[in-house]
Structure 1
């Protein structure tokens, strides 16, 4: 028996995240465990997850799950928005709730920083997509930096 779908395909947060993920070289989307995942050979980002120990908690229902660069992990651990998700958290993955973009506990909802989201997605992609795809991404970014298209 498959997992039930646990997302709304018309969700604007998902639509924006989908555009960011699918803009990367050879990126594709698949539904796994009822949630959207983006991958090349390996999954580099997911939309939605569960909180370790409390699967009923909606905190990560609309979150970006990503694998941070190990060098960035200490700074991310200090960011109170970042959550260790169930199942993949033990392998270094982290989650950023997109529907709670302000500092948790401050009462300030703020707006999603899509540049930050794109950086987290790209960092995860760079670790999991393989050297050929990363080189292609670098070449594409150099072309954009020069104004080529």
Structure 2
């Protein structure tokens, strides 16, 4: 049984996440379990998620799941915007709620790009990380 689509392809939050993720060397997008997943050989970011025990897709429809540095994880969890996602949380992943009272322009996209960069570096093959390091710029959050 296929999973239902749990995102709107024209969602402005997704458009910004997509531009950040797909700017990274070798990055691609696929829909898995009804959500956009960004990957090289392994997934480094997922758009949308749920918390353990609650399968309602709405509360975190506009969220981003990433794998932060282990040393940064405790500090991130002190920020109310971050939660432990269902399924991925036990493996160190965190979910950032992107929704903001000011809308998409209220999001700190440089912070999002930094989180994506870290997650990418933790999951991508060494040759792609080297290509990222050799590139003139990294994910900047620019649209």
**Same fold, judged at TM 0.5 (above):** yes
Instruction: Say which of 122, 128, 132 aligns to 1:127.
Output: 122
Deviation above 6 Å: which 4+ runs of structure 1?
A: none
Q: CA RMSD in A?
A: 1.4
Q: Could you say which structure has the greater relative contact order, defined with CA pairs below 8 angstroms and 6 or more residues apart?
A: 2
Unmatched runs of 5 consecutive residues or more in structure 2? 139-143
Shift of 1:131: 1.2
Paired residues of 2:6 and 2:57 also in contact (CA < 8 A): no
**Over alpha carbons, which structure has the higher Rg?**
1
Paired residues of 1:53 and 1:86 also in contact (CA < 8 A): yes
How has the CA–CA distance of structure 1 residues 70 and 35 changed in structure 2, closer, same or farther, with 3 Å as cutoff?
same
Q: Which residues of 2 match residues 7-46 of structure 1 at below 5 A?
A: 7-46=7-46
1:104 is matched with none
Give the TM-score normalised by the residue count of structure 1.
0.86
1:12-51 superposed Cα distances (whole Å, 9 cap, x missing partner): 1101100000000000000000000000000000000112
